[in-house]
Amino acid sequence: MNTQKWDTLIIGSGLAGLSCGLELAERGQRVHILEAAPYPGGRTSNWSDTGMEVESGFHKYIGFYQALPDLLRRAGIKLNTMLTWEKTFEIRLPDGETTGEYGIAPLKSPIKTVSGAFGNSDILSAVDKASLMPFVAEGLRLLAEDPMELDTYSVAEFARKHGVKEGALDNILTPLTSGVLFLPPDRYSALVFFGLFAPGLPRFYKLQLGAFNGGMTDVMIAPIVAKLESLGSRVSLNSPVSALSVKEGRVTGVSLADGSTLDADHVVLATEVSAAKHLLQPAFDGEQWLRPLQALPTMPDVTIQLELSEPLLPQDRATFGPGTCIGSFSEQSRTTFRGVPGRVSMILTPPEEFIEMPDELIFERVCEDADKLGLGLRAAATDYRVIRRPDHFYAVQPGSERLRPEQRTPVPGLSLAGDYTRQPMYATMEGAVLSGRKAAEAVLGRELD
Q: Stretch 243-271: mean pLDDT, rounded?
A: 97
57 pLDDT higher than 50: yes
Burial class of residue 263, CB neighbours in 10 A (0-12, 13-18, 19+): middle
Given a cut of 60, whether residue 232 has pLDDT beyond it is yes
> How confident is the model at residue 201, as a pLDDT?
77
Q: Binning pLDDT at 50, 70 and 90, where does residue 2 land?
A: very low
Task: Give residue-wise pLDDT tens across range 99-125.
Answer: 988 887 555 555 555 555 556 788 889
Q: Using a pLDDT cut of 90, give the percent of the chain over it.
A: 87
| Range list for CATH 3.50.50.60 in the chain | 6-53+215-297+398-444
User: Quick one: CATH architecture of 6-53+215-297+398-444?
Assistant: 3-Layer(bba) Sandwich (3.50)
Query: Could you tell me what percent of the chain has a pLDDT over 70?
Result: 95
200 has pLDDT over 90? no
**Could you tell me where in the chain the CATH 3.90.660.10 domains are found?**
298-394
pLDDT at 104: 74
Model confidence pLDDT, tens digit, residues 336-356: 999 999 999 999 999 999 999
Of the candidate ranges 48-57, 83-92, 99-108, 390-399, the one whose mean pLDDT is the lowest = 99-108
Q: Is pLDDT above 90 for 169?
A: yes
The pLDDT, as a whole number, for residue 181 is 87
CA 17 from centroid of its chain's CA atoms:
14
Query: Which carries the bigger pLDDT value, residue 176 or residue 202?
Result: 176
Tell me the per-residue pLDDT of 133-149, one tens digit each, with 9 for 90 and over: 999 999 999 999 999 99
The answer to whether the CB of 229 falls within 8 A of the CB of 221 is no
CATH number of 298-394: 3.90.660.10
Residue 1's pLDDT is: 43
pLDDT at 119: 64
pLDDT at 302 over 80: yes
Bridge partners, residue 61, by sequence: 210
Positive/negative CA dihedral, 285, 290, 294, 300: negative
Q: What is the pLDDT of residues 19-42, one digit of tens each?
A: 999 999 999 999 999 999 999 999
Mean pLDDT in the chain? 93
Give the per-residue pLDDT at 58.
Answer: 87
pTM here is: 0.95
